[in-house]
Structure 1
Amino acid sequence: MTSIQKPASQACRSNTSFRGAVAAVLASVLLSGCGVVNNMIYKTTGDVMQGFSRNHTVPYLLESDDLAMGCAMSEATAPLLMSFGRVTSEPDQLAVMLYLSAGGCAEEQAREHELDGLAALRAMDAEEAEDAMIRQKRALALAAKRYHRGWKHHNAFYGKPDAGECPGFDDDLGEFIYMAGLLSGLQALNAEIQSTSSIGVPKNIGSTVSRATRCLENDKWWGAPMALRATVWAMIPGALPEGEDPFERLEIADAQGEEAGVRISHVFHAIAAQNKGDEERLRDVIRSHAQAIEETPANEEWTFVDAMATDMIVAISDRLWMENTGHRTPMGQLGTFWDDEKEAVETMDLDDLL
Structure 2
Amino acid sequence: MTVLLQKTAGQRLSGMARLRGLTAAVVASVALSGCGVVNHMIYKTTGDVMQGFSRNHTVPYLLESGDLAMGCAMSEATAPLLMSFGRVTDEPDQLAVMLYLSAGGCAEEQAREYELQGLAALRAMNADNAQDAMVRQKRAHATAAKRYFRGWQHHNTFYGEPGTGECPDFDDDLGEFIYLAGLLSGLQALNAEIQSTSFIGVPKNVGSVVARATSCLDNEKWWGAPMALRATVWAMIPGAQPEGENAFERLEIADKQGEEAGVRISHVFHAIAAINKGDDERLRDVIRSHAESLEETPSNEEWRFVDAMATQMIVAISDRLWVEHNGYRTPMGQLGTFWDDQAEAVETMDLDDLL
Normalised by the shorter chain, which TM-score bucket?
over 0.9
Match in the other structure for 1:336: 337
Shift of 1:10: 1.8
Partners of 1:97 and 1:323 lie apart in 2 by 33
Match in the other structure for 1:221: 222
Match in the other structure for 2:255: 254
One-letter amino acid matched to 1:344: M
Match in the other structure for 1:299: 300
Greater Cα shift, 158-167 or 71-80:
158-167
One-letter amino acid matched to 1:72: A
Unpaired segments ≥5 residues, structure 1: none
Identity among equivalent positions (%) equals: 81
Distance 1:328 1:21, change over 3 A: same
Match in the other structure for 1:91: 92
Give 1:170-185 correspondences, 5 Å limit: 170-185=171-186
Give 1:35-74 correspondences, 5 Å limit: 35-74=36-75
SS at match of 1:147: helix
Partners of 2:193 and 2:29 lie apart in 1 by 51
Match in the other structure for 1:163: 164
Unpaired segments ≥5 residues, structure 2: none
SS at match of 1:329: coil
Partners of 2:334 and 2:354 lie apart in 1 by 30
Q: Does 1:278 align with 2:283?
A: no
Q: Does 1:138 align with 2:139?
A: yes
After superposition, the C-alpha distances for 1:311-338 in whole angstroms (9 at most, x for unaligned) are 0000000000000000000000000000
Shift of 1:267: 0.1
Match in the other structure for 2:314: 313
After superposition, the C-alpha distances for 1:245-299 in whole angstroms (9 at most, x for unaligned) are 0000000000000000000000000000000000000000000000000100000
Match in the other structure for 1:101: 102
SS at match of 1:242: coil
SS at match of 1:219: coil
After superposition, the C-alpha distances for 1:96-143 in whole angstroms (9 at most, x for unaligned) are 000000000000000000000000000001111000000000000000
One-letter amino acid matched to 2:247: P
Shift of 1:238: 1.3
One-letter amino acid matched to 2:349: A
Partners of 1:274 and 1:332 lie apart in 2 by 23
Shift of 1:346: 6.3
SS at match of 1:220: coil
What RMSD over aligned residues (CA atoms) do the two structures have, in Å?
1.1
Shift of 1:344: 2.6
Shift of 1:37: 0.7
One-letter amino acid matched to 1:303: R
Distance 1:346 1:47, change over 3 A: farther
Partners of 1:256 and 1:93 lie apart in 2 by 27
The number of aligned residues is 347
SS at match of 1:7: helix
Shift of 1:13: 1.2
Partners of 1:71 and 1:250 lie apart in 2 by 28
After superposition, the C-alpha distances for 1:44-88 in whole angstroms (9 at most, x for unaligned) are 100000000000000000000000000000000000000000000
Q: Does 1:128 align with 2:129?
A: yes
Partners of 2:201 and 2:94 lie apart in 1 by 22
TM-score norm. by structure 2 comes to 0.96
Distance 1:36 1:286, change over 3 A: same
Distance 1:19 1:229, change over 3 A: same
Match in the other structure for 1:206: 207
After superposition, the C-alpha distances for 1:164-204 in whole angstroms (9 at most, x for unaligned) are 21000000000000000000000000000000000100000
SS at match of 2:321: helix
Shift of 1:345: 5.5
Shift of 1:348: 4.1
